[in-house]
Every structure is written in structure tokens, then in C-alpha cells.
Chain A
Amino acid sequence: MSYPSPTEPGLVGLARAARWTGIRLRMGDAIGKGFSLLPIPIVYAIAALTYMKLAQPGPKLEAFLCWAGLALLLLPLGRSLYACFRRQPRYFGAMALDRHHGYRDRISNALAFGDLPASQRTPFMQAAMQDAVVTARSLKPRRAAPLHVPLELPVVAVLVALLGGLALLEVRTQRMVAPGRHLTPLVLAPDDLDLLKETAQQLAQQNQDPETLAALQRFNGLIEDIAQKRLDRSDVFGTLQQIERDLNRAGESEREALDEGLKALARELEKSALSKPLREPLESKKLDDAQRAMRELAEKLRRNKPPSKAELEQLRQALQKASQASSERLKQLEKMREELSQQRRLLQRKEQRSSDKQRQLEKLDRQLQRLDRQKQRSELAARQLSELDRQLASAAEKLFQELGLSAQDLERAAQDLNRLAEKQQSEQEKQKLLKQIEELRQLLRQQGQGGSQQMTRLLLFGQHARGEKGQGSQGKKGQPGKGQGQGQQGELPALGLGLSRGAGSMGGAEMPGAGVQGSPPKAGQGGPSAPDKGWGAGHDPNVKGEKSGTQAKTKDVSAAAVDTGEGSASSEVIYGAAQRGFVGRGYQKVYTDYKNVAERGMGQDQIPPGYRFYVQRYFQLIRPRE
């Protein structure tokens, strides 16, 4: 065996192998240490992701959890880096090579001796170095420092797969919404709903005012919501109130003020024979008529034959006063108020301490408040009528100078009246809708009092009206018998006037199924009962003509469109319809006639809110159902 010199590249090769082994050891250590801690952040990530998916915390907490995860990830990373770069013994790699090859520290000793200055090396050291070079000819750093697959790798792989799966998994979570209130939906009979819809449609067709149309749209939405059973009573009432508010109920004071202003105007214009025709329409707030009358007056002034000077003077004074009516009234109110205030001050100064003084003071206060309100209204009226006043004043001024110019001013005044009329029209439309809302409110109130039984009855009636024989209808359907007695008579006789044969018997007790408020009479209700007691007893004393036959002659006569006087009487038609459901062409005619008369009547008379709806509902319930 020939021993090389220690300066030979052999020792350099040993050093290189030792260094490479050291690097591999560091890498292996870093991998192992890193993997040993890697499950911690992954497990955390799984837990955090699960929590985030299930609990869905706020973005703040999610961000915190993410940051915490990143911080945890630094654990294995930091440990790896520390293992990779921590200080190691100088012959760390060489020792590993010695261990692996079983060289009994030959390489590390040789490198240690090689690091010494040559002068300090003993022969033994040189021999040891040469021995190492000769012995360690084929070093295997890869085997000496193998990069093992970390034991934790399967665990980490499983956890990572779990994490990936979890990230892809979309967990459907039910958001914890605050428990909603228990909705007891408001239920209206389909007939009522239909009626409300129809009314709303009619109003929409008549209306042009955008505010009213918007309110109508909301009203329709409300009806739709009720039909879909999405609202309870309080919701409905709340929405109705809101619509009412939108319709600007505050405009009532404006209307009142305008009424007052117009009346004052009318009073002044009455004083002239020429302008007298304006009084009536202005007082009754028929602004279209007033406008027409104003134009006629202007036309009179333009005629070839103008009015006499006295008439013109009278007209001038009337127009002038009329133009100043609002301001005069304001001044008058102001004066009154000043006087009352003066009285109050005097009363306060009196050293009288009695209850009389107090009462007087209170009375004065009330009067002052009333005057304030009147003043407000007058101011409002003055604002609304300012243009009209201006035109009238101008017309009065020019009356003796140039009649044509004066007429022009009156024309302009007529235009202003037209503006007021249009405004009034929209107000009327609003009023109609408000009335409808009030009707609905009343209906709901009544329904609330009637309870579910009333609704059941209405639904059952609707079923019968369509000619269906529902379950248990035997006992419920209107049986022929005596109808409502005294209580109802006289309410509807007008409906039958001049309609057809036997129509006068409407108020009679023989109308089948006409129970209280349209409810069908129950079985046996029509039977004989004690005189003057209960319903179904007695007769209308105003019965005219012969008693209608109670035998329903339901045989149709093919003589349509030709009133031959043949066919069933109206009462017979109604009776037949009540028995088989409200269908048939004959019934259609009778129904339309009756309904028109009823509506006309309602249009002429003052009917309290809610009652109009009853009548409407009645006709809605008994409408022909083809």
C-alpha cells in the first residue's frame, strides 16, 4: 500500500466530501424538523377553515384567523431555517462519513490534523492523514447523509388533502337570521280582492296626477300582497297609513283655505250684475263653471255693445274688491288679532286674581289661536289666488281705459281658474283614492270583528255563487224561505224602481239568500217563526204589486234582446241564480241594472266610510260568474 502525501488532492477530496455531507445533513435536518411541525398549522388551518365555513364569522375575525394561521406557518418554517443554518461542529460532515463507512474517525481526524500548521504535525498525525486518504477512497456522502422521506409526510399529505377538500367543499349554512315575527296573514275573500282591484283599476284609468298614480301603484301592490298572504293586519294598516300620508292629507288645509278665498271672491263679485254669474260656481267650487262664466264676462266686454258705464263702474268696484278680498281679510284678521292681544295684555295687567280672569285669559288665548289658524288659511288662500287677484286687479284698472285689455286680463283670470280647477281635479282624485283606502280600512276592521267565521261564510258564498256544491253546502246554501224582515226593508226598494216586473219585491222578504250583510241564510232560518221576532218574519208594508212567485222558473226563453215581456221576472231570475249560482245571461242583465242604480244612489248620497263598500261587496258577491 503506497501512502500519498498529505498535500495530495486526496485530502481536499475528503474535505469536499465532508462539506457536501454536512450540507446534506443540514438539508435533511431542516426537512425533518420542518415536517415535524408542519401538521400544527395544517390542523389549525383545517379547524379555522371549518369554523369559517360553518360559523361564517365577520371579515375581521376571518382576517385574524388567517393571520394567526400564517403566524403558525412560521413555526415549521422557522424551525427548518434554524436547523439549516444553526452552528454545527466543524467536522460535522466528516464524522457522518466516518460513521457511515466505519472509518473510526479517520476522516475527521485527518481533516483536524490537516488543519494544524505543518510544524505542529507529528509523524503519527501525518501517518493518520495518509491512512485516511488511502482508506477513504470512495466516499458516499449521499448514503452517509441520506435525505429521508419525513415520517410525518403521510400525515401531512392526508392533512393537506383534507384541507384541500375542505376548501373546495361548499357548506350550505343557514344564516342565523333573527327569528322573524310570527306572521298571521291577513286573508281577504277573493271577491273582496277582485273588487278592490277593479276599483283601483278604475281610479287608475281616470287619474293623470303622478302622485295619485304612484299611490295607486302602492295600493295595488298592497292588494297583491294581501292576495299572496304576505302581510298581516298591522302591515296592511301601516301601509295604508303610509299611502294616506303620501297622498298628502295636509293639503286639506289648503283646500279649506281655497274654499274660503273663493267664497270671499264670490261675495265681492256678486255685487256687480256683470260678475254675478261667477258667484254660484265659485261658492260651490265648481271651477269649470266659474271659468266658463269668467270667459263669458270677458266676451261681454269685447262685444260691440259694451255694458253701460254704471255697470262697468259696478264691475270695476267688484273686481277691485274681489282682488283685494284676500288681503283685506288678512288685514281684518290682523286687526282682530291685535285687538285681542291688547285685551289680553290689559287683562293680564289687572291685579285681579280670580278664576274669572283666568277663564277670560284662556278664552282670549283660544280666540287668538283660532285667529292664527284663520290667518294662516287666509295667507294660504292669498298665495293660491294671488295670480287670479292680480289679473282681476289689472282688469279693474283697465276697465275704463281699454275694454279689450280688461277682457284679456279676465281671460287670464279664467286660465288661472282653470289651473285651480285642474288642481282641484287632482285633489278629487286623491280624495277618491283616500276614500277607497278608508273603505278598505273599514272592511278590515269589520273583518277583524267578524272573525274567521265571516271569512268562511264569504268563501262559501263565493263557492256557491260559482255554482259549485262544496262540502257541507247543504246546510249552508241559501234555501228558499223568508228573507230578512223589517230591518232591511226600505234600504233597497229604490233599486227596483222602473226596472222590470216584480222588481218592487226586492225589499220583500222573499229574496232568497239575502241574509244580513249578504250572508246566506242558514238552513231552517227561513222557517216560520214568532211574529215580529227575528228575521224571516213579517212583510214589508210597502209592498207594491203582486207578490213575486217563489217558484223559480228557470226555463230560459229564447227571446233575447227582444223585450217581449215574456220570460222570467227579475225576482225569478235572481231566485234562480241564487239556487244554481250566479250565472246565466238573464241574470247578467238584472245584475247590471241593479248595480247601476245602486251606484247612482251611492254617488248622490252621503254614505259613511265602509258602508259604501258593503254595497259594493254585495254586488261583487252576487256578480255574474260565467
Chain B
Amino acid sequence: MADAENVREDVRAFQQKIGALREEIGRVIVGNREVIDGVLTCILGGSHALLEGVPGLGKTMLVRTLADALGLKFSRIQFTPDLMPADIIGTTVVDQTAAGGHVFEFRKGPVFANLVLADEVNRATPKTQSALLEAMQEHHVTVGRTSYRIEEPYFVLATQNPLEMEGTYPLPEAQLDRFFFKLEMPFPNREELHSIVDRTTTDHEVQVKSVLGREDILAMQKLVRSVPVARHVQDYAIRLLQATHPNSDIAPPKVRRYVRIGASPRGVQAILLASKARALFEGRFAAATDDIRASAPPALRHRILLSFEGEAEGISTDAVIREIIDQLPQAGV
């Protein structure tokens, strides 16, 4: 009984913290509730997000605000074709000691932060991209014979510009798979634009307060992982993932026709973790199929590879996922 009561308390506290965080972010970022929740879900899931949107939609601002509100160390890397891995992970330099001697000292790069904004990640060469992606996956950086652990929580938010694809190096599927969510930054609506204009063209300056600390984040990440998922809900998530594979028995016609490769098991991991976070956001104690359905598009859209026919016909992966969700029965026999 006591445990359950504690859980309820924890969940209530979690909700309060998330509410405070949302409120604080909302003071700077107009709208984009889904993106903010998605980013928070990624942080609470202990993973990273790929944010796609045209320039000027506030991607950098979102991450900076998030970092300020969370009281975490933030760094931003603008990816360019000539960016080298050492530029992001750091390099070893010869330094003179006080005694006059010389020592090799490792100067940490921008990846050594709690929140890293990898802006226009697809403009860097694959070599540089892979250096970042190693850090993202392993949460440490190896230089020479020494590995340097990155401080938790560690969250990378990479952005991509869907336009201006010329001269870019699209992320390979294996690397895309490492992103928990791929979020799409929508263009603000009229009201939101009014607010953006009001806030940015006046002398109104907002100071973002830190509402959560590093320990809070870690505790919240742990709480998310404690949320149970009933067997039938988990089964639904798994069937959803299976349905993304064109060779699957339960794959809908659209998948069979337009999908070349379905999502990897990382997809269902992302869905379930995101569902747990979502359940907590709403003060529930277990993930539901609704959470699965809501989490599936951002978790799977970058993990599904369309066939040539799908590409040619301009089919989006979101449409494929929507079809799967619509046609897949909630409960399997």
C-alpha cells in the first residue's frame, strides 16, 4: 500500500515538474507543444532527437531555453562540410605546466555538455557525423587511448533542413536509428506568429529560470522506466513495429507496396519508453495503447525506409504509419 502511495506521490511530483518545465519553456517558445513534449520525452527516455524544420522556426531557441530551464550545460555545434571530428569531440594539445614542463592535455569539445544542439547535422561529412553519433550512443568519447565519459544527462538535438539538400550528407539509416524521435517543427499558425512577433520585436526580454536540476532529470528518467506496460499493450507496440515490415503478415497494403525496410527493434523500444513518459505526463500509472499510437509516428518515421515506388509517388512515412495505426486491431488474439 505504501509503495503504491509513494508511486502516486512520485507521479504527482513528476507531473508538477513537467508542468513547471512546460510553463517555463512556454514563456520563450510559442506553441510547438508537441515538439516540446517530444523533446522532453526524448530527454526522459535518455535518448536524442532529430529535429527537422526550415530555418527560423526556433529550433536553437528551443534547445537553449530547455537547457536554461533544466539548468544543464548547453553547447551548440554548427555543422559544416569542413567540420572535423576533433572540432566537436575535442583535441589533445601540448600545454605548458606551471613548472615549465609540457604536458599533453585533452581539450573537450562541444559534445561534452548535457544538452548539445547539432545544427544542420547533415551538412557535415559522414566522418564527423559518426564521431557525434558515437558520443550519442556510447555517452563517452575516446581520444587516443583515453575514453572520456560525458556527463549525464546527455541529450543531443540534431537539426536538419529539409530544403537545401544540395551538398549535404544525408544521415545513413544506421545513424538515423540512433535518434529516439524524429520531430518535425511545424510552421507556426497565425496566433503563434503574432506572439512570436510580439515577443521578438519589442524590448520584452524573458529570463528563463532553471526549474529542474540534473538530479531531477535523472530521477525522472528512472521513474519513466518504472512505469509498467501490460502485456497486451506491449503486444500492440510490437505488432505495430512488425507491421512496418513489408514481408509481415499483418502489414497493410501500403506498407507492402511502398516500404523497403521496416523499423528496427530500437523503434519499439522508443515507442514503449515514450509511451511510459506520456503516461506519466498525464498522471497515469501504466502505458496505454493510446500512448503507443501517439508515440509511433515520431519514433518510427525515420526508421522506415521507403521503396523507390514510395519515393517516386511522394509517400511520406507518416502516411504509412497512419495506415498501420488505422488498420491494426488494438488487441491481437
Contact = CB atoms under 8 A, between A and B. Distances in A.
A619 interface: no
Interface residues of B, number: 29
Contact of B286 (A87, A90, A91, A113): A113
A3 interface: yes
A112 B331 CA distance: 13
A113 B333 contact: no
A127 B4 contact: yes
B332 interface: yes
SS class, residues of chain A in contact with chain B: helix
A124 B230 CA distance: 11
Contacts of A87: 333
A91 B3 contact: no
Interface stretch (A100-108, A205-213, A497-505, A584-592): A100-108
B21 interface: no
A541 interface: no
A497 to B, nearest CB: 120
B4 A104 contact: no
A109 interface: yes
Greatest chain A CB density within 10 A among B232, B285, B288, B289 is at: B285
Interface in B273-292: 279, 282, 284-291
Contacts of B286: 105-106, 109, 113, 124-125, 128
Contact of B230 (A88, A108, A127, A131): A108
B290 A104 contact: yes
Given A89-B331, A104-B282, A112 B230 contact: yes
Contacts of B11: 127
B99 interface: no
Contact of B284 (A95, A113, A131): A131
Interface string A83-119: 0000111111001001100001110110011000000
Interface string A116-137: 0000001111111011000000
A108 B233 CA distance: 9
Contact of A130 (B4, B6, B279, B290): B4
B2 to A, nearest CB: 8
Contacts of A106: 284, 286, 288
A109 B6 CA distance: 20
A123 B289 contact: no
Given A104-B290, A106-B284, A131-B284, A113 B1 contact: no
User: How many of chain A's residues touch chain B, expressed as a range?
Assistant: 20 to 34
A122 B4 CA distance: 8
Contacts of B78: none
A87 B11 CA distance: 37
Contacts of B3: 123, 126
Nearest to A102: B290
B285 A95 contact: no
B333 A124 contact: no
Nearest to B282: A104
B204 interface: no
B284 to A, nearest CB: 6
Interface string B103-120: 000000000000000000
A105 to B, nearest CB: 4
Contact of B331 (A5, A92, A128, A131): A92
B277 to A, nearest CB: 13
Contacts of B228: 109, 113, 122, 124-125, 128
Interface string B289-308: 11100000000000000000
Contact of B333 (A89, A98, A105, A109): A89
Contact of B7 (A88, A95, A109, A124): A124
18 contacts: A90-B331, A95-B232, A95-B289, A99-B330, A104-B282, A104-B284, A104-B291, A105-B288, A106-B286, A108-B230, A112-B230, A112-B231, A112-B232, A125-B285, A125-B286, A126-B7, A128-B285, A128-B286
Interface of A: 3, 5, 87-92, 95, 98-99, 104-106, 108-109, 112-113, 122-128, 130-131
The 4 closest A-B pairs by CB, nearest first: A89-B331, A123-B3, A105-B288, A128-B285
